[in-house]
Structure 1
Amino acid sequence: MDQELLDICQQIFKNIISQLTLHLRFMDLALDQFTLVPQQKSIEISCDGTYLYYHPLFVIKTYQHRPDGLTRGYLHIVLHAVFRHPFLSAHMQASLWDLACDIAVENMISELKLAFLEKDENQEKQRELAAMKEKVDLLSAQKIYAYLRDQVDPDKVKWLKTLFYFDDHACWYDFNQTVNRKSKLYGEESKDDPGSSSDNEFENASHDNPHDSPNKEKSKRQLTASELQQLKNSQEKWRRIQERIKTDLETFSRDDQPAASQLIQALKPLKREKYDYATFLRKFMVQGEKVKLNDNDFDYIFYTYGLKLYHNMPLIEALEQSELANLRDFVIAIDTSGSVSGPIVQSFLEKTYNIFKQRDHFFERFNVHIIQCDAKIQEDMKITTFDQFDKYIQQMEIKGLGGTDFRPVFSHVDELLEKKELTRLQGLIYFTDGDGIYPQYQPRYRTAFVFIDSKAYDQAKVPAWAIKYLIEDDEMEDFNA
């Protein structure tokens, strides 16, 4: 590879970084993080969060004809890393996720209002972004992804890919595929259900971006242990950089940056520690013995030897004790104010019921109270069997539809504890939109407020002693499936 070309490319990137740092001081650390790697493959430019792979001729020609276009493209790639798009791509349809991420970063570049990056050629992007903002409340990659999947026809998607494309994303999926297969962890410090399927939707996902190179067929390459660790380190590094940018914007740079509030808002969802709902519910479980076949501690050698020697007479019996994480007493409170709809409440209860039933999450005898409350207690239904639980869900009627006051539920649960109606209470989950009066005191049991709306989640003033959980859009899909 011609060293002179490489030297020119190094100088080009150095100039780009200097120019962007001058205008975006709060991103100084983020702008100079990549290790530049020249290559002669058909992919023009791509980045996995650590290495920026580029074709020298692509960089030189683009900079020669559209220097600001390459500068915008470099910022496009940096913002992918800041928003940690390469590490959040599991369980999405790859081609739509690629486009959603491109739209999200291009929107943020526009919000930064850097005059030298806003050329006539970007006006079409601006029109599309303006139209999208009327339908999507926050142009984050996750929300754009849901919008593209549910409301945009394939022909429009294909055209949008051409409009917003800059870098190839194939290298993102090497990390996610390897992690999914080996540890079943992905994304933002994810603690997904270890019992869930490890099938990766990307293996059959379509990559029909018109700019795709022939080798962007979904990568099957397994990363080595050192490569995987390096990318995990990169993931953590970008988490820290994202936090630093947010802190800087909230303090020193807010007055200097007109788009500070938009960027702060865009970074907010990234701070959330992500669990799937089943994993979240396990926070409330306790260890206890349950009578069931315990295959883990059973010696099959003596068992089968006895069957063979004594003709169907085993030497030992199967162990019937197993220690499991279970629930015994539990409270599910439902906010039945006018802002929470019946079908969503029913879907939430169905999902909760299915998780409880699937994996022996309850002891043989359990005691669940489902409480409906708006500004006062409307109903308290005691459930002790799965049949009762199922029947209640099918026949439930939302009662209330008034204002929202969370305090009556806590007072009622305290009364149940005093009466010994609840003797081993593991916790209380309150399903709500968050707009109500919270109790001032901390109860003696674990409490979580569960939200379905990201805006309500961000604005809710949940007490410090309570857990706050947001059911993401993709989980809501599962609820309604």
Structure 2
Amino acid sequence: MDQELLDICQQIFKNIISQLTLHLRFMDLALDQFTLVPQQKSIEISCDGTYLYYHPLFVIKTYQHRPDGLTRGYLHIVLHAVFRHPFLSVHMQASLWDLACDIAVENMISELKLAFLEKDENQEKQRELAAMKEKVDLLSAQKIYAYLRDQVDPDKVKWLKTLFYFDDHACWYDFNQTVNRKSKLYGEESKDDPGSSSDNEFENASHDNPHDSPNKEKSKRQLTASELQQLKNSQEKWRRIQERIKTDLETFSRDDQPAASQLIQALKPLKREKYDYATFLRKFMVQGEKVKLNDNDFDYIFYTYGLKLYHNMPLIEALEQSELANLRDFVIAIDTSGSVSGPIVQSFLEKTYNIFKQRDHFFERFNVHIIQCDAKIQEDMKITTFDQFDKYIQQMEIKGLGGTDFRPVFSHVDELLEKKELTRLQGLIYFTDGDGIYPQYQPRYRTAFVFIDSKAYDQAKVPAWAIKYLIEDDEMEDFNA
């Protein structure tokens, strides 16, 4: 590779970083994080959060003809990393997630109102952003993804890809495919069968560069252990950078940056700890003995020695008790007011059922009460076996559809405790949109309110003694997969 070309590219990127830092002081750390890697592959430019891969001729030609376009493109890539887009795509349909991320960062660049970039604004792009803002309350990648998935036809999606495209995202999926199969970065279950390596969300998805040929084959490379660790470190690094940017905007730079409030709002959802629903459920589990083969405490040396010496006569039997985190008594309350739909409730219960069943999360004898309630108790179904649980999900009918009052459920559960119907209650999960009357007192058991809408989650006045959990858009996609 021609060293003179590489030197020119290095100088171009240096100039871009200097120019952006001058106008975006709160992003100084973020703008100079990438290790530049020249390559001569068909991909013009891409970034995994650590390395920025570029074709030298693409960089030089673009800078010659549209210097502000390349500067905008570099900021586009940096904002992907700031919003941690490469690391949040585990349960997404790749082609839609790519487009949603591109739209989100292009909107933010427009909101920053940098005068030297405004002459590179595409009017068609601005019209599409304006139209989208009328339908999506906050143009975050997650909300745009849901909008594209539910309301935009495939032909329009294809056109939008070309309009908002700058960088190739294939390397994002090297990371997430490896994580999905090996380390389960956001928890142990990414699908209902957590042990399966074939249930990869991206097996049939496309994240092709819209400027490439239709026959381009997407990346399926598995990362090595060192590469995976490096990218995990990169994810943590960008989380810290994002926190620093947010703090800087909230304190020192708000008056200097007209778009500070928009960027703060865009960063706000990212502050939440990201872990999956299965991990959340483990908060309610307790230690208990369960009769099953205990591999951890079993001495294979004496066992195999006995088989060898005495022919099929082990010197020691396998231990059959194991300490496991399990549930015995549990309450699932369902808000059946008019604002919560039946299919979503059913999907929620199915996912809960699958997590419990896959991981032996229940003792042999358990006692689950599924309570439907709007402004009053509509139904209390007692479940003691997995067959009953499965049958209930398949045949359930939503009852109520009135207003929302959470208090009757807590009064009812208190009565069950007094009657000894629930003797070892681990907790109560209330699936709701959050718009209702909360009890004033703290119950004797752990309580969580589970939300499906981020706006309702942010606005809900959940008591301090309760846990709040938001099922993100990507998790809802996984529920319905």
CA contact 1:87–1:188 (8 Å) conserved in 2: no
How far the C-alpha of 1:31 sits from its partner, in A, is 1.4
Superposed CA deviations along residues 324-377 of structure 1, whole A, max 9, x for unmatched, are 332111111222333223333233223323333344322222222222333444
- Post-superposition offset of 1:224: 3.6
CA separation in 2, counterparts of 1:178 and 1:480? 23
Unaligned 5+ runs, structure 1: none
What is the CA distance between 1:241 and its match in structure 2?
A: 0.8
Which whole-Å CA distance do the structure 2 matches of 1:273 and 1:284 have between them? 18
C-alpha distance 26-287 of structure 1, shift in aligned 2 (>3 A):
same
| Bigger Cα displacement from structure 2, 398-407 vs 263-272 | 398-407
Closer, same or farther: CA 391–226 of 1 in aligned 2, 3 Å: closer
Deviation at 1:248, TM superposition (A): 2.3
For residues 206-226 of structure 1, what are the alpha-carbon distances to aligned partners after superposition, in whole Å with 9 as ceiling and x for unaligned?
343232389973334443433
Report deviation, 1:153.
Answer: 3.6
Contact 2:192/2:355 (8 A) holds in 1: no
Per-residue CA deviations over 1:182-239 (Å, capped at 9, x if unaligned) read 3232699999996464643435543432323899733344434333322222111100
Q: CA offset at residue 123 of structure 1?
A: 0.5
Rounded to whole Å, the distance in 2 between the matches of 1:307 and 1:225 is: 37
How far has the Cα of 1:34 moved from its partner? 1.7
Assess, with a 3 A threshold, how the Cα gap between structure 1 residues 243 and 44 changes in structure 2: closer, same or farther.
Answer: same
Q: Distance in 2 between matches of 1:351 and 1:180?
A: 18
| Structure 1 CA distance for aligned equivalents of residues 232 and 314 of structure 2 | 50
Q: Tell me the distance in 1 between the aligned counterparts of 2:226 and 2:144.
A: 34
Cα deviation 1:100-149 (Å, max 9, x = unaligned): 22122111112222233223651111122223333433322233333334
Name the SS for the 1:53 alignment partner.
Answer: strand
Quickly say closer, same or farther: Cα 1:215–1:222, change in 2 above 3 A: farther
Deviation at 1:76, TM superposition (A): 0.3
| Structure-2 change in CA distance of 1:226 and 1:444 (3 Å) | same
Q: Answer whether contact 1:289 1:321 (CA < 8 A) is retained.
A: yes
- Answer yes or no: is the 8 Å Cα contact 1:325–1:361 preserved in 2: yes
Percent of paired sites with the same residue: 100
Q: State which drifts further: 372-381 or 418-427.
A: 372-381
Secondary structure of the structure 1 residue equivalent to 2:121: helix
The corresponding residue for 2:27 is 27
Q: TM-score, normalised by structure 2?
A: 0.86
Change (3 A) 1:422 1:63: same
Per-residue CA deviation, residues 28-54 of structure 1 (Å, 9 max, x unaligned), is 221122222333333322222122222
Cα distance change of structure 1 residues 62 and 326 upon mapping to structure 2, 3 Å threshold:
same
Structure 1 distance, partners of 2:188, 2:361, is 26
The Cα of 1:426 is off from its aligned counterpart by 0.7
Structure 1 residues 424 and 198: alpha-carbon distance in aligned structure 2, compared to 1, 3 A threshold: farther
Q: Is the 8 A contact 1:140 1:266 kept in 2?
A: yes
Alpha-carbon distance change, 284 to 108 in structure 1, aligned in 2, over 3 angstroms: same
Q: Retained in 1: the 8 A contact 2:36–2:54? A: yes
Between 228-237 and 365-374, the greater mean CA deviation after superposition: 365-374
Change (3 A) 1:376 1:301: same
Separation (CA, whole Å) in 2 of partners of 1:55 and 1:315? 65
1:252 shift after superposition:
3.0
C-alpha separation in 2, matches of 1:182 and 1:341? 35
Give the alignment's Cα RMSD to 1 decimal.
3.6
8 Å CA contact retained: 2:186, 2:275 = no
Which 10-residue stretch deviates more, 435-444 or 304-313?
A: 304-313
Shift of 1:295: 6.6
What secondary structure, in the 3-state scheme, does the structure 1 residue paired with 2:202 have?
helix
Q: Secondary structure at the match of 2:43?
A: coil
Q: 1:203 to 1:350 in 2, by over 3 A?
A: closer
Deviates more, 1:430-439 or 1:64-73: 430-439
Change (3 A) 1:26 1:193: farther
Measured after TM superposition, the shift of residue 432 of structure 1 is 0.9
Question: Quick check: 1:82–1:238 contact (8 Å CA) kept in 2?
Answer: yes
Q: Hey, what's the Cα distance between the residues in 2 that align with 1:61 and 1:117?
A: 18
Cα drift, residue 270 of structure 1: 1.8
Q: Distance in 1 between matches of 2:476 and 2:223?
A: 32
What corresponds to 1:438 in structure 2?
Answer: 438
More off after superposition, 266-275 vs 385-394: 385-394
